[in-house]
Amino acid sequence: MGSPFGLPEIRVIQDIYLHPNRSANEISEELNMDKGYLSRLLKNLERQNYIFRSICKEDARRGIISLTDSGISVYHELDNSANQSVNDIYGHLSEAQITTLISNMEEICSLVCSPTSNSQESVD
């Protein structure tokens, strides 16, 4: 989408925006991301002034991560860009076509994601 951020950074920025005042552990668990890798991403985002860390008032052992004003602006830019990309790809479709597309995507997901998807089934 022409962003200077990779998908992991975007996921972290989005998670912090949608769930403010989380700890690094909570972000790591939510995103199923290695804590060491997340730590490096957070240091980089902090260096760029997109996030800041503070101490939880209820538990001084717990660090809280929040977006700075610059981080909030970046989130909105990324969100707008993603929405525009979706509109560029699907905007020409009618409501009926979108319904069909969603139904087909759900069918694909059920085939690919189902536990039996690895079994050999005959196709008639």
Average pLDDT, the chain: 88
Q: In this predicted model, what pLDDT tens digit does every residue of 24-40 receive, in sequence order?
A: 999 999 999 999 999 99
Q: In this predicted model, what pLDDT tens digit does every residue of 84-115 receive, in sequence order?
A: 999 999 999 999 999 999 999 999 999 998 76
Strand-pairing partners, residue 18, are none
Residue 1's pLDDT band, with cuts at 50, 70 and 90, is low
Instruction: Give the whole-angstrom CA distance, residue 91 versus residue 96.
Output: 13
How far is residue 46 from each of residues 12, 30, 55, measured CA to CA in Å? Answer: 12, 20, 15
Does the model's pTM come out above 0.95?
A: no
Cα Dmax for the chain: 63
Q: In this predicted model, what pLDDT tens digit does every residue of 36-63 receive, in sequence order?
A: 999 999 999 999 999 999 887 777 777 8
- Residue 42 CB neighbour total at 10 angstroms: 21
